[in-house]
Structure 1
Amino acid sequence: MLRSWSLQLTIAETSGLPVYLQIAQQIMEEIQKGRLAPSTAMPGTRELAEQLKVNRKTVILAYDELIAQGWLVTEQRRGSFVSANLPNFTAQPQASKTGHQPANVVEGPTHPLLNYQSPLNGVIDFNDGIPDSRLIPFNILSRAFRHALIGSSKGNNLGYGDPRGTLALRQSIATMLNMERGLSVDIDQICIARGSQMGIFLAARILTRPNDNVVVEQLSYPAAKEAFRSCGANILTVAQDKHGIDVTALEKLCKQHPIRAIYVTPHHQFPTTVIMTAERRLKLLMLAEQYDFTIVEDDYDHEFHFSYHPVFPLASTNHGGRVIYVGSLSKVLAPGLRVGYLVATPSLIGRCAQEVMLIDRQGNSITELAVAELMNAGEIKRHIRKTFKVYNERRNLLITLIKKELKEYVTFDAPDGGLAIWLRLKEGYEIETVAAKALAHKVRILPGTLFSESQQSVHAIRLGFGSLTTAELEKGVLGLKACFTQH
């Protein structure tokens, strides 16, 4: 059968799909776009094979697949046709990648930090303080994963499990918290999450009702604010200073509004890195009791404290169940492993388990068992000691570089802990301009404005150093200096 047209298909040699499936998939797309109407005669297998420069058997396999799925039909001595029983798809112009949002999709948060930023080739990325995954003890980790997989398989334990997490990891975390962070918890007070962000979201889900008031500091972790906002909360802000949250301002806010919860990062305030003083910690706990609100304490990088021993969490006090404690092992190992946890009363943990059942049913039991083995064998502590030295060297180098190269343009206080430094721009420098020029010099920074709830510019930078080598730190600071000298 002669045709005035030819079917335009493309074979991608780098695709992971077999060639016959690529052909079948593209024909299905052409039918759905309305370009191949019902009953349209298809090219013969020999003709299409010659056009695509593939073996005829490959095209036969593609047609057989389409016939089996009902997209094509074959008629003896006539050939293959688009099925007449398919809906008559109306040809539509291809949707633009930046087209309008479908009407039935609920609008989500639009904060820039909630959009994944892929690594840029040749760009030094001063992120928000993620660890260096190159430091992971791969051999030890792979052995633990192998043990977990073999043991689970032999014991027929790869099915559905406790949504709170595996017993082994909850026990290991309970022991660690009781021995090293001053808490007094058991396994019924722990729920494993896929990273601290999921822990924060679970806290928001079990605490927040529509129009509840949730307080955050003026500069705070954007993803936490959006987690509470997504649950219907009204976000209220309170001032902060070099000693942490302004508890006097918080008390005034409590007198004006009923407060459901407050989100804080007292150990290393995010993003400014300051430590909440003991006096303010006690006052915060007193206010929680007086005004009947819950404290969500995010202790996202407790292990990395360089000046002295880490301060015990708020959750280590006799708080009467008013503190929900969120922690993570992702900063210790690697963010990609997604192991976090939430500590609360058994009743709240039960609510968390119900939410987990709705979100993803349970965590990855193999990962949890592997991490539990590493904790019980002391490998996690050994890894922390090793990486602590590396991060401390990088911190000290970055402090030296800033003092040497950037002292004319910024001020800062050397942080006692954490994997980032908070730089404050001196008067006359605009953060938006600096950020744009830095990227032009192959340096990506996080402007302080990203962490503010207000619309006003915050002329500061959160400079994460954990994931950068000494050479990368030196190159990054010199690139940052260049954008100031061209001001």
Structure 2
Amino acid sequence: MNRPISRQIFTAIRLHHTGKRPVYLQLADALLALIKKEQLRPGQKLPGSRDLAEWQQINRITAAKAYEELQTQGWLESFVGRGTFVARHLPTMQPNPLQPTHTASSGETAGFSVPALAYLAARLPLVTGRLHLDDGFPDPSLAPLKELYRAWRSQLTRSGLYYKFGSYSRPEGPELFRTAISNYLNDTRGLNTSPKNILSVNGTVMGLNLVCNGLIEPGDVIVSGIPGWGRAEQNFLHAGAKHIGVPVDEHGLVTEELKKICRTKKVRMVYVTPHHHYPTTVSLRIDRRLELLQLAQEYGFIIFEDDYDYDFHYKNRPLLPLASADDQGMVIYGGSFSKSFSPAVRIGYLVASENVIQHLASVRMLLDRQGDHILDNAMAEILNDGTVQRYLRKTLAVYKERRDFFCDLLQRELGEFVHFTIPEGGMTVWTNFAEHINLETLAQQASQKGLYISDGKVHQYPGYRTNAIRLGFASSTKEDIAASIAILKSLLKK
């Protein structure tokens, strides 16, 4: 095929000489678009670079480079003495579609089907206001971020760079980190671990996802408390598990209800946040803790213990984890530094029997060959030199003071609209609002005044409705807490 091509096709091309993309690449893009639209067909001869340059009022070298670019990519072919042609081997670019064509561009909608899974539709709310009574985040201005940065930077200047940067390492995490975490947990949580019991993960969500990928089969039964943590429940459903919720009261997960389920169904895993149940912040009472461990041994199910904010308990000493009393290897213990440092710091760990850690490390390699060993080692350094421990002692006092200030102000200014129990620990107050208050409307109105609060939707379940939300106090100064309460008061009393 060597039909002449209308000059008009090429003169219609518009190039932007002040744009960031080089002109020759703009021209190549335009020619490629003509080929894909079949306005330039396989085997057709293109005008010479001199003619194309004259029509576009560009340098001939620029036109030649555009041809060369497309030739390199296989769209054009050139023959000495004959000229440049659209490659003859190209297939038909626009065959008759087997399905209705998409109206949106490929940048918006894929040409293949994407499963619409309801449990994946939920998105984390973004805190955009200057003021925030959030889900229970720490105050990053208190965190030892400078010390962490110095430790991280020192990793880049020491010897052994090949083993840090030039090769892959252990998927379970570097030895320095695993040893530091093991010692830290043994000292502070009464665990009896070695580095072989530790797996480095990028936060608790990743750890839970690994467990679901590595230990849960489609159809397995997973039990957790209602209300609970939606992100965990989404992982259960994505693994194909059957999720069963059991009630949570003022003493935590109702183990008597769990026992009834175990008698009729084979339970594979129970997910719990026993120290401060999410979202209600209540602690699992000692008799229920012991019964949960006994049930796990009797019925052979995994306990996934998510201890997301162990370090912040204000009434006496923190309750030791279930894992500290587990002598049968039934508990997988997960924690992170996201709640103590910042949600942006993705450093976490799983603790389990050695064979479980080895298995989960192998599963992890399918997703993530290894974690950020530089960051892990930096965290190990500030654990080993006591920086983390000093920071936690300091912030414990600060957060307790903020809790007391917040709860006093909440009761004094909003007592006629809310009911709550002062939490023994954690960074939020589970706050029940009067039934006539629409939390979605309240959240929208607060946002307009620069205050973020939850609208409560994440805590609603079929058969379970509550007009309650978590109001986080730890990330705000006293001044910001007072300003936030003042906004809520103005909205509720108008």
Q: TM above 0.5, one fold?
A: yes
TM bracket (short chain)? 0.7 to 0.9
Give the distance between the partners of 1:263 and 1:421, measured in 2 at CA: 22
Contact 1:261–1:293, Cα closer than 8 Å, also in 2: yes
Asked if 1:95 is matched to 2:97, the reply is: no
Asked if 1:481 is matched to 2:484, the reply is: no
Contact 2:440–2:456, Cα closer than 8 Å, also in 1: no
Q: Label 1:85 to 1:251 Cα distance change in 2 as closer, same or farther (>3 A).
A: same
Q: Label 1:141 to 1:74 Cα distance change in 2 as closer, same or farther (>3 A).
A: farther
* Deviation of 1:269 (Å): 0.7
Aligned residue number for residue 147 of structure 1: 154
TM-score, normalised by the number of residues in structure 1: 0.86
Give the distance between the partners of 1:94 and 1:10, measured in 2 at CA: 27
Aligned residue number for residue 98 of structure 2: none
Secondary structure (helix, strand or coil) at the match of 1:255 reads: helix
Greater mean alpha carbon deviation, residues 223-232 or residues 131-140: 131-140
Asked if 1:217 is matched to 2:225, the reply is: yes
Amino acid paired to 1:6: A
Greater mean alpha carbon deviation, residues 356-365 or residues 153-162: 153-162
Aligned residue number for residue 3 of structure 1: 8
Bigger Rg, which one: 2
Give the distance between the partners of 2:430 and 2:107, measured in 1 at CA: 35
Q: Label 1:82 to 1:444 Cα distance change in 2 as closer, same or farther (>3 A).
A: farther
Q: How does 1:331-370 map to 2 (within 5 A)?
A: 331-370=339-378
Aligned residue number for residue 110 of structure 1: 119
Give the distance between the partners of 2:484 and 2:53, measured in 1 at CA: 57
* Deviation of 1:338 (Å): 1.1
Greater mean alpha carbon deviation, residues 17-26 or residues 274-283: 17-26
Give the distance between the partners of 2:144 and 2:318, measured in 1 at CA: 24
* Deviation of 1:381 (Å): 1.5
* Deviation of 1:101 (Å): 6.9
* Deviation of 1:85 (Å): 4.3
- CA offsets per residue over residues 245-273 of structure 1, 9 Å max, x none? 11122222222322111100011111111
Give the distance between the partners of 1:12 and 1:384, measured in 2 at CA: 54
Q: How does 1:425-444 map to 2 (within 5 A)?
A: 425-444=433-452
Candidates 30, 34, 37, aligned match of 2:33: 30
- CA offsets per residue over residues 108-159 of structure 1, 9 Å max, x none? 453565x244453x45343322223333434322221122223365353321
Aligned residue number for residue 419 of structure 2: 411
Give the distance between the partners of 2:17 and 2:402, measured in 1 at CA: 48
Q: Label 1:433 to 1:59 Cα distance change in 2 as closer, same or farther (>3 A).
A: farther
Secondary structure (helix, strand or coil) at the match of 1:236 reads: strand
Amino acid paired to 2:253: I
Contact 2:144–2:388, Cα closer than 8 Å, also in 1: no
Give the distance between the partners of 1:296 and 1:24, measured in 2 at CA: 58
Amino acid paired to 2:299: Y
Q: Label 1:26 to 1:164 Cα distance change in 2 as closer, same or farther (>3 A).
A: same
Q: Which runs of 5+ in 1 are unaligned?
A: none
Q: Label 1:238 to 1:74 Cα distance change in 2 as closer, same or farther (>3 A).
A: same
Give the distance between the partners of 1:73 and 1:195, measured in 2 at CA: 52
Q: How does 1:202-213 map to 2 (within 5 A)?
A: 202-213=210-221
Amino acid paired to 2:104: A
Give the distance between the partners of 1:48 and 1:347, measured in 2 at CA: 68
Candidates 453, 458, 473, aligned match of 2:466: 458
Secondary structure (helix, strand or coil) at the match of 1:110 reads: helix
Contact 2:144–2:387, Cα closer than 8 Å, also in 1: no
Greater mean alpha carbon deviation, residues 136-145 or residues 469-478: 469-478
Candidates 476, 488, 493, aligned match of 1:468: 476
Give the distance between the partners of 1:393 and 1:46, measured in 2 at CA: 76
Give the distance between the partners of 2:238 and 2:289, measured in 1 at CA: 28
Asked if 1:292 is matched to 2:300, the reply is: yes
Q: Label 1:366 to 1:64 Cα distance change in 2 as closer, same or farther (>3 A).
A: farther
Amino acid paired to 1:30: A
Greater mean alpha carbon deviation, residues 55-64 or residues 393-402: 55-64
Aligned residue number for residue 144 of structure 2: 137
Give the distance between the partners of 2:178 and 2:373, measured in 1 at CA: 12
Greater mean alpha carbon deviation, residues 406-415 or residues 423-432: 423-432
TM-score, normalised by the number of residues in structure 2: 0.85
Contact 1:299–1:326, Cα closer than 8 Å, also in 2: yes
Greater mean alpha carbon deviation, residues 333-342 or residues 453-462: 453-462
Secondary structure (helix, strand or coil) at the match of 1:157 reads: helix
Contact 1:44–1:80, Cα closer than 8 Å, also in 2: no
Q: How does 1:15-414 map to 2 (within 5 A)?
A: 19=22, 23=26, 27=30, 30=33, 34=37, 37-38=40-41, 39=44, 44-45=52-53, 48=56, 64-72=68-76, 83=87, 85-90=89-94, 95=104, 103-108=112-117, 110-111=119-120, 113=122, 115-120=123-128, 122=129, 124-151=131-158, 153-158=160-165, 159-414=167-422
Amino acid paired to 2:189: R
- CA offsets per residue over residues 280-311 of structure 1, 9 Å max, x none? 11121122222221111000111112222211
Contact 2:163–2:169, Cα closer than 8 Å, also in 1: no
Give the distance between the partners of 1:289 and 1:344, measured in 2 at CA: 15
Q: Which runs of 5+ in 2 are unaligned?
A: 1-5, 96-100
Amino acid paired to 1:154: L
